[in-house]
């Protein structure tokens, strides 16, 4: 087929005012929360707040230290009858101080008194110390008592010596402060014990303690 000399492609002219096209974006649809979902959300928020409050109280609340008479050794006991009836006693004591808090404890002194049948025999005071958080410290002390008059309890004492077990009363007290950041919180602990000491092997055979 023969073609003409000039071939032309005819295009339609653009309209003078093209039609504008608008694009509409629709937001993502979120269904309204139901009453059950709202109650569940409030319950979770309340439970979380209560858990955080309980943990804060557990970690930050200052608890008094606990003290325990770990050892009471009767080193020497002697009854003197030359110038009236007197008694010579020597004790070795070991007291455990347990710090239950999550910060350190500094105590000024630890005082221990020893008695027999509700009568105080003597008193000993040790130097201060430092106890780390959630740790224990052992304090040793020696109490020497010479020339004690036991006229009122001499028969009980002779009977206890014959049995080989002597009941003693001990009262232990510690005063200190907790080092919580820049704050110093004073604390005090006291415990009383009835201790039964075997005079043959010089050991504690039984003790009943109660804090005060």
The CATH architecture of the domain made up of 66-211 is: Sandwich (2.60)
Residue 166: φ, ψ to 5° = -115, 130
| Paired sense of beta strands 119-126 and 183-198, if any | unpaired
Of 80, 91, 210, residue with least CA distance to 157? 80
- pTM assigned to the model: 0.65
Contact 75, 94 (CB under 8 A): no
161-181 pLDDT, tens digit per residue, is: 888 888 889 899 988 887 766
Give the alpha-carbon dihedral of 130, 102, 184, 136, to 10 degrees: -20
Of 135, 164, 143, 168, residue with least CA distance to 153? 168
23-57 pLDDT, tens digit per residue, is: 555 566 566 667 777 788 888 888 888 887 777 66
Q: What does pLDDT average to over the chain?
A: 78
One-character DSSP codes across 29-59: P-PPPPHHHHHHHHHHHHHHHHHHHHHHHHH
Domains of the chain, by residue range, sit at 66-211
95-127 residues labelled b (16+ CB within 10 A) or e (exposed): bbbebebebbbebeebbbbbbbeeeebeebebe
């Amino acid at each position: 087929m023969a073609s003409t000399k000039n071939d032309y492609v005819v295009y339609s002219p653009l309209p003078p005012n093209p039609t504008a096209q608008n694009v509409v974006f629709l937001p993502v649809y979120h269904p309204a929360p139901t009453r059950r979902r709202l109650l569940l959300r409030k319950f979770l928020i309340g439970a979380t707040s209560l858990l955080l409050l309980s943990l804060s109280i557990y970690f930050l609340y200052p608890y008094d230290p606990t003290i325990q008479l770990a050892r009471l050794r009767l080193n020497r006991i002697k009854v003197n009858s030359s110038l009236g009836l007197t008694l010579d006693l020597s004790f070795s004591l070991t007291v455990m101080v347990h710090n239950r808090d999550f910060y350190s404890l500094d105590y000024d002194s630890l005082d221990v008194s020893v008695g027999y049948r509700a009568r105080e025999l003597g008193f000993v005071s040790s130097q201060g110390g430092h106890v780390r958080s959630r740790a224990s410290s052992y304090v040793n002390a020696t109490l020497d008592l010479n020339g004690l008059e036991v006229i009122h309890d001499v028969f009980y004492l002779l009977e206890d010596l014959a049995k080989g077990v002597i009941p003693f009363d001990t009262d232990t007290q510690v005063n200190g402060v907790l080092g919580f950041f820049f704050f110093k919180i004073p604390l005090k602990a006291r415990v009383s014990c009835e201790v039964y000491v075997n005079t043959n092997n010089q050991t504690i055979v039984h003790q009943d303690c109660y804090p005060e």
